[in-house]
Amino acid sequence: MAEAKRVERPLSPHLQIYRIQLTSVTSILTRITGNALIVGVILAVWWLLAAATSDAYFATANAVATSWFGDLVFTGSLWAAWYHYLAGMRHLYYDAGKGLDLPTAEKLGWAVIGGSVVLTIITIILVQ
């Protein structure tokens, strides 16, 4: 049987020079935050169902919802909601055919990231 001749091929050029772009990162984050919001909704619904069930069950759900874990989930969900909202506004702007050049798209990406953090902090301050 003949020996298979292995050909040494170079890596594709894009694997050597590719740089992650902010627009792709913000697009991925939009999908992640949309799915991550489910965790906060599940915790909130569990808390409400526990309130409707019994005092003992509510005490357990309330202990989880008001613990460091609950605070982390709800704060993360708040940031995810603001991020998802601002990314949606950015996509509406894109759908109008505006902001599609790379410098503007990157500025909008940073605006969505920074704006979501600032709005999360403002919301936390106003709610307390």
Q: What is the pLDDT of residues 25-78, one digit of tens each?
A: 999 999 999 999 999 999 999 999 999 999 999 999 999 999 999 999 999 999
pTM of the model: 0.82
Report d(CA 77, CA 39) in Å as an integer.
8
Written out in words, the top-level CATH class of the domain with range 22-127 is: mainly alpha
Given a cut of 70, whether residue 11 has pLDDT beyond it is no
What would the mean pLDDT of 84-95 be, rounded to a whole number? 96
How much is the pLDDT for 8?
A: 76
Report d(CA 18, CA 12) in Å as an integer.
10
